[in-house]
């Protein structure tokens, strides 16, 4: 018995890297998989249907069930079409993994509006549109589903040359937290994964130059399987980080702070400066 037997899953950006590894892992665990990928280059340019088709063929050769989707995540109609592909092919939807993404790195002062907008459109807007379409389908069918978004180290901590990407990924954190609250009433769990892995998106970054198999996409896929499965039936609103063999959880932490005595509790700027070490202490 597989952990995802009888479940229908969509994985966006599943033609390469983490998405491909996750689609294959889902199929091995018994899921019927919609392999979504437009087949674009790393910067989002171009289209190539063969990326998704190759993963579908790989799943079928191994005895699994899969269909391809070449729709973009970043437009309402095409995001809805991805969900409709699952409903038409397999009769339902239990799992969505929002994994599709592009990179257009540039330092803040050199980044133009197109670079900014393109990355937010795919990562943040795409995650919202696919999440919304999937949640509507799950709600209408009474499915206690699982939605897994993708944030990143950049989104949690920031990164040089990635203002667009970091802003999108930070937005996905907020989207995940809010969706987990709103969809709880329908039994729909919403979590996020913040992966560190050597893929087509990251292979030329300095930190990955000498890394072969210690930070691979295959390290990330089991976290997706866990969050998609009933093993995580009580997990929602979590951001799970995976970097090779290390798995952790990100949490926003507020300091204890300091109360202002007297004067209606209104601080002066100089008083804040004087006590800032205490105010900010975790």
Which DSSP letter does residue 262 get?
Answer: S
* Catalytic, out of 165, 173, 186, 250: 165
Q: Judging by beta carbons within 10 Å of its beta carbon (0-12, 13-18, 19+), is residue 58 exposed, middle or buried?
A: middle
Helices (H), the chain: 17-28, 50-61, 76-90, 113-120, 126-141, 153-157, 163-182, 217-228, 269-279
Closest CA to 150 of 169, 167, 165, 171: 169
The CA distances from residue 213 to 15, 19, 138, 209, in Å, are 19, 17, 37, 12
- 165 part of the active site: yes
CA distance 8 to 236: 19
Active-site residues, by number, are 165
């Amino acid at each position: 018995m597989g952990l995802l037997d009888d479940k229908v899953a969509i994985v966006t950006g599943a033609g390469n890297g983490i998405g491909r590894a996750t689609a294959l892992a889902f199929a091995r665990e018994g899921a019927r998989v919609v392999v979504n990928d437009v087949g674009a280059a790393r910067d989002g340019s171009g289209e190539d249907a063969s990326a998704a088709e190759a993963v579908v063929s790989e799943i079928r050769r191994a005895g699994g069930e899969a269909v391809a989707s070449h729709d973009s995540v970043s437009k309402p109609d095409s995001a809805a079409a991805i969900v409709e592909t699952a409903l038409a092919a397999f009769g339902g939807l239990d799992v969505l993994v929002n994994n599709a993404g592009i990179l257009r790195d540039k330092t803040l002062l050199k980044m133009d509006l197109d670079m900014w907008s393109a990355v937010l459109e795919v990562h943040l807007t795409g995650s919202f549109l696919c999440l919304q379409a999937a949640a509507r389908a799950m709600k209408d069918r009474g499915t206690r589903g699982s939605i897994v978004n993708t944030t990143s180290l950049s989104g949690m901590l920031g990164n040089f040359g990635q203002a667009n990407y970091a802003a999108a990924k930070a937005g996905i954190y907020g989207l995940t937290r809010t969706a987990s609250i709103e969809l709880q009433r329908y039994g729909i769990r919403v979590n996020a994964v913040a992966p560190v892995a050597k893929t087509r998106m990251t292979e030329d970054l300095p930190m990955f130059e000498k890394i072969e198999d210690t930070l691979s996409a295959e390290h990330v896929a089991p976290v997706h399987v866990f969050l998609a499965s009933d093993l995580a039936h009580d997990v929602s609103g979590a951001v799970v980080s995976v970097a090779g063999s290390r798995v952790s959880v990100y949490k926003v932490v507020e300091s204890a702070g300091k109360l202002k005595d007297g004067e209606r509790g209104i601080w002066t700027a100089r008083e804040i400066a004087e006590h800032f070490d205490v105010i900010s202490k975790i």
